[in-house]
Structure 1
Amino acid sequence: MSILADVGAFALKLVLILALVGAIVTLVARGARSRGDDQPAPLEIRALHEQLRERAERIRLETASPAQRKALRKTLKRKRKDEDKAPGGQKERPRAFVLDFEGDLRASAVSALREEISALLLVAGSGDEIVLRLESPGGMVHGYGLAASQLARIGKRGIRLTVTVDKVAASGGYMMACVADRIVAAPFAVIGSIGVVMQMPNFHRLLKRKEIDFELLTAGEHKRTLTLFGENSDAARSKALEELEDTHTLFKDFIRDHRPQLDVDTVANGEHWFGTRAAELKLVDELMTSDDYLMQRMETHDLFGVRLRQPRPLMQRLAERVSMAVQRVREAALLRA
């Protein structure tokens, strides 16, 4: 009992301290936010080709014998000097700009994607390429429709777009991928799921059993179809299904426009496939991981990673720290017990 009392007292003190710290941090954050609302999110640019070469050189040096290491270091140093003294008239290598998109249900990463693309369209030329490393199981139609439209801006400017998929590009994720000039997928990446789904619970019978009335007033015959709390009619279900079919038709037409080589009627049944099968069905163009594709591209292009750094909300970071502190308290209690 004394051990439990000690643990309880410690936990209470910790909660009070965290609450006080949270209140102070919130006040500071509000003041900082009021001063920094006009500050744009910073854009990070990383020379990926330089990073890869430096790592390769380090491995060569570390694995070479002591006798070879000195000569190798001189060779690498001389090579660097020769590259720095390249004649001014020498043609510069084209660039490949690498973006990342990790999709959620709402396609919330589109807010960063649109700014990254807008920035690149101001500097990219016809010989350059944009590579999007895409991972998404899909989600809301309007969010992924906007993301696909953002990618379509790249092709309209005559810039090559390649989408690589290592894990999954399904449903709305595939809607984004099909805009690309070329889709590269890992052999076991999940591809496809060209379909539309809608689902919701209905609490009408529960409310009726508890004698709770629910009123829904609308102006317009189809302002609402299926509802959470009202009694759903066959007419409402029919209208909702009609809307799903129309959305599916738009989805299929969108894919036809961007991938004419694909037999859409065969693959647009909601099914998904692994990369190997997807290549046979022409859902993707090549089987390869994004890492291999970028290393291949490095032979002809300079690679630059581009990312709009959007700091996580303060309360999210605070919640993560609180969670870690609670976990430590639990571990300490277990050790004491």
Structure 2
Amino acid sequence: MAFLYEYGLFLAKTITFVVAIAVVIGLIAGAALSRSKPKKGQLQFTDLSADYQDQTAELQQQLLEKKPFKQWLKAQKTKPQADKTRLFVLDFHGSMDARETDSLREEISAILSIAKADDEVLLRLESGGGVVHGYGLAASQLDRLNKRQINLTVAVDKVAASGGYMMACIGNKIIAAPFAIVGSIGVIAQLPNFNRLLKKHNVDFEQFTAGEFKRTVTLFGENTDKGRDKFQQELEQTHQLFKRFVTEHRPQLDIQQVATGEHWFGYQALELQLVDAIQTSDDYIMAALTERQVYQVKYQLRKGMAEKVGMGSANIVSQWWQKLFQLNWQR
């Protein structure tokens, strides 16, 4: 038994070493491939109406006797099939840098290539905001729908704050769950400064710029009141642009009241006219299923070679360590 244990331990170490080398080689190869070939993705259309009908039929089969169920099925088949308008459902779960905009761009381009004037887009939005330029571009992608006069409804089930609300206000209609977080029309910037720490350890920091305000505040240099004032001025200018943008898309707002950087829950946001109705995205889709053909549109980025190799190798290592643990436990 001791021999088997020693042999198992040796084998686990050997496999771990080999897998580690394979991971390194895979990461290098994957990085080289990712540089030579751009990442591509795949556009996925899911017929939510068909899924809903299948689910309803399954429930009816469970609840009804055989004969009534057959009658129900026959009644469904004989219903007149009128041409329905379409609702396209998109999801945007925004990160700090709004990198999800790449997928949003592809999804909107696909919809615009087939959408008719009476079709509609529902965006299920979830974001606490992030960088100004990233969310500015995301909002511009949504504005492409407005320019083509395609109705856009934005649903906020959890949070649409700061840059998230910048995107939401593009919608012709905003709905929110009762306790969804909405608003935060403000701008924030913060950074540490290590200048005193560097001085304490006799470390010099040198920075060279051309232009008086090329760098206003810095991580390692000694910040000045003049630089801080200029940086604050830039924040105020960004805030003014943010307020102007929101006002252009939701003129009914009292912008001075809501642009304080605060956030509100859904009920409060409705009173302030930040949203138009209290409703979840699930309720909105369920209501649409009776009148529209509903499709979910998603652009799925393909994983790079490095990601695939890394995940596969990690799974192999994990499985072998589990086997080794079991061997030790049994011993």
Q: In 2 relative to 1, CA 171–310 (structure 1 residues): closer, same or farther, beyond 3 Å?
A: same
Deviation, 1:293, is 0.4
Matches within 5 A, 1:294-305: 294-305=285-296
Cα distance in 1 between the residues matched to 2:253 and 2:7: 67
Deviation, 1:260, is 0.8
Equivalent in 45, 60, 72 of residue 69 of structure 2: 72
SS of residue in 2 equivalent to 1:237:
helix
Q: In 2 relative to 1, CA 24–326 (structure 1 residues): closer, same or farther, beyond 3 Å?
A: closer
Equivalent in 72, 93, 99 of residue 108 of structure 1: 99
Q: Greater CA deviation, 113-122 or 161-170? A: 113-122
Equivalent in 226, 237, 251 of residue 235 of structure 1: 226
SS of residue in 2 equivalent to 1:151:
helix
Q: Greater CA deviation, 13-22 or 195-204? A: 13-22
Equivalent in 206, 213, 233 of residue 204 of structure 2: 213
- 1:55 equivalent to 2:46? Answer no
Deviation, 1:271, is 0.8
Q: In 2 relative to 1, CA 28–185 (structure 1 residues): closer, same or farther, beyond 3 Å?
A: same
SS of residue in 2 equivalent to 1:309:
strand
Cα distance in 2 between the residues matched to 1:31 and 1:319: 15
- 1:132 equivalent to 2:123? Answer yes
- 1:260 equivalent to 2:260? Answer no
Instruction: Report how many aligned residue pairs link the two structures.
Output: 326
Letter of the 1:265 counterpart? Q
- 1:149 equivalent to 2:150? Answer no
Letter of the 2:56 counterpart? A
RMSD: 2.8
Deviation, 1:270, is 0.9
Cα distance in 1 between the residues matched to 2:33 and 2:207: 43
Bigger relative contact order, structure 1 or 2 (CA pairs below 8 A, ≥6 apart): 2
Q: TM-score, normalising length from structure 1?
A: 0.87
Deviation, 1:156, is 1.0
SS of residue in 2 equivalent to 1:167:
strand
Cα distance in 2 between the residues matched to 1:8 and 1:209: 50
Letter of the 2:159 counterpart? V
Cα distance in 2 between the residues matched to 1:176 and 1:209: 45
Equivalent in 178, 184, 195 of residue 175 of structure 2: 184
Q: In 2 relative to 1, CA 34–256 (structure 1 residues): closer, same or farther, beyond 3 Å?
A: closer
Q: Greater CA deviation, 131-140 or 13-22? A: 13-22
- 1:164 equivalent to 2:155? Answer yes
Q: Greater CA deviation, 180-189 or 8-17? A: 8-17
- Contact 2:27 2:310 (C-alpha < 8 Å) held by counterparts: no
Residue 22 of structure 1 corresponds to which residue in structure 2?
A: 23
List per-residue Cα deviations over 1:291-316 (Å, max 9, x = no partner): 11011111221101111111233333
List per-residue Cα deviations over 1:188-210 (Å, max 9, x = no partner): 11111111010111111111111
SS of residue in 1 equivalent to 2:301:
coil
Q: In 2 relative to 1, CA 174–31 (structure 1 residues): closer, same or farther, beyond 3 Å?
A: closer
Cα distance in 2 between the residues matched to 1:212 and 1:63: 77
Deviation, 1:145, is 0.3
Residue 42 of structure 2 corresponds to which residue in structure 1?
A: 42
Q: In 2 relative to 1, CA 38–190 (structure 1 residues): closer, same or farther, beyond 3 Å?
A: closer
Residue 251 of structure 1 corresponds to which residue in structure 2?
A: 242
Percent identity over the alignment?
Answer: 43
Q: In 2 relative to 1, CA 201–306 (structure 1 residues): closer, same or farther, beyond 3 Å?
A: same
SS of residue in 2 equivalent to 1:42:
strand
Deviation, 1:17, is 3.0
Letter of the 1:58 counterpart? E
SS of residue in 1 equivalent to 2:268:
helix
Deviation, 1:43, is 1.0
Q: TM-score, normalising length from structure 2?
A: 0.88
Cα distance in 1 between the residues matched to 2:228 and 2:149: 44
Q: In 2 relative to 1, CA 137–7 (structure 1 residues): closer, same or farther, beyond 3 Å?
A: farther
Cα distance in 2 between the residues matched to 1:109 and 1:102: 7
